[in-house]
Amino acid sequence: MLKKSALGWPKIAGLGIALVVAGQFSGWNFGLAAGGWLNMLVATLLMALLCGGLALCVAELSTALPSAGGVFVYAQSAFGPFVGYLVGVACALALTIGTGAAATFICAYTESIFGLGGWTVKIALFAVIIGIHMRGVGEAMGLTFIAGVIAVIALLTFGVAMAPHVELATLLELPASVATPVSLGGIFACVPFAIWLFITVEQTGSAAEEAHNSGRTMPRGILAAIGTLLVTALVVLVCAPGAGGVELVGSAGDPLYAAMSSNSAFGEGSWLARVIGCGAVFGLIATFFSLVYTASRQLFAMARDGLFPQWLGKTGKRGTPYPALLLIGAIGLPVSEVDPATVMLAVVLLLNVGYLLIFGAYLRIKTRQPDLPRPFTLPGGKLVAWLGLALTLVVIAACFQLDMLMLIALAVTFTLCIFNYLLRNRRTTVTEVPDHA
């Protein structure tokens, strides 16, 4: 059994920030190479609307249906066990392989700053972070909160330090592959990378079962996370390419460090660039912590409900789902050797398939269960959900830039998971949503 009332709203906010903040240190910048700065700016604002709206819809659902399963439980409540299962699989798989991308980005920064990288760093990351999670949710979330705070301070310090070096002409430089500053095609190309600045903040809902007074804690924490992330996203989007150049930043594995070390900013060997680079490592580690936390709770909740093997639903003496944690390490470590841009697109595609169904679940539960107790209600919730549905379809279409090999791998994985569901459903049919209160 998970530990109840372990998390207050600051830790919920810290979880939301930590889930996302790695994407503000690395990954988003590939959108600059795909479409240039203005296209990336428009795409970023659209994705802020999408992810912010989704997180607020999830905030309402998480107070009405608090569960470690998060989005899986909401989809199951609205559409039945099979759709809930597909959403759970998509989210769990995305979060698990996302640990591989986070490990790759951490190595890019540690290689630039300390000259350390490769398998040694990756194995140490997985071993230490999973080990801390096994000690208990309080310890893991406390460290996640601290790392998230350090990361936000690093991002804001980066903005203050780089602001004097920002030039409008530098921002508006076009990559060789981009024909016009603003176009529908350019915005479309940037979308899968712009969403990286905000993606997974909605997974904060998986903490509802362990939150203290979830009706107040969850919305306050999620709103604090969204506000903070929007500010830091705009800081990096303006200051990194505006000082370091669109071409340089758009191709770097460590874009903030690359921008600060450029000749137009502080130059190679700058102590401030190293300090910000260390902050980036903390931010990436915070996201690593959060991805492991949310993925393990997703796997645990689905196993507890009979949708995955029972051994994934076991917890240790400290109330942590240790088999799920070990499985995440077994999958995430080899994925860290895959091109991070490819992993990013796969994560975005998987999560947005889930988002489509989550928005649908929100609308269905809102309509069919109007009397369900909701300690928090999103004003204009239905309008927000319909807008989110439209934007999610755009993101899914944009993700088919993904290479064919990864698409085949995802299709095979989903096929195997569907067979798993059908085989388990023959033995025991899930007829109602379990009570996770």
CA distance 280 to 152: 9
Please report the pLDDT score of residue 21 as a whole number.
79
Let me know how long the chain is.
437
171-211 residue pLDDT tens = 998 888 887 888 999 999 999 999 989 987 877 766 666 66
Average pLDDT estimate for 276-296? 84
CA distance 297 to 324: 8
For the cut 90, the answer to whether the pLDDT of residue 91 exceeds it is no
43-63 residue pLDDT tens = 999 999 999 889 888 888 877
Please report the pLDDT score of residue 316 as a whole number.
76
* DSSP single-letter state for residue 29: T
Q: Around 139, how many Cα atoms within 13 Å sit in the side-chain half-sphere?
A: 12
Q: What residue ranges do the domains of the chain occupy?
A: 20-426
- What token pair was written down for 347? 């994560």
171-176 contact pairs (CB < 8 A, 24+): 171/37, 171/238, 171/241, 171/242, 171/246, 172/36, 172/37, 172/38, 173/36, 173/37, 173/245, 173/246, 173/247, 174/36, 174/246, 175/32, 175/33, 175/36, 175/246, 175/247, 175/250
Report, at the CATH architecture level, how domain 20-426 is classified.
Up-down Bundle (1.20)
Please report the pLDDT score of residue 2 as a whole number.
46
329-349 residue pLDDT tens = 999 999 999 888 888 888 899
Helix (H), strand (E) at residue 276: helix 271-304
- Those residues with Cβ within 8 angstroms of residue 260's Cβ, 6 or more apart along the chain or in another chain: 158, 161, 162, 243, 244, 266, 270, 272, 273, 276, 277
Count of beta carbons in the 10 Å neighbourhood of residue 17: 31
At what angle are helices 81-114 and 118-135 packed, to 10 degrees?
Answer: 130
Count of beta carbons in the 10 Å neighbourhood of residue 167: 12
* DSSP single-letter state for residue 174: P
For the cut 80, the answer to whether the pLDDT of residue 71 exceeds it is no
- What token pair was written down for 266? 């502080």
At CA 238, angle to CA 227 and CA 167, rounded to 5? 155
Category of 377 on φ-ψ map: left (φ > 0), alpha (ψ -120 to 50) or beta: beta
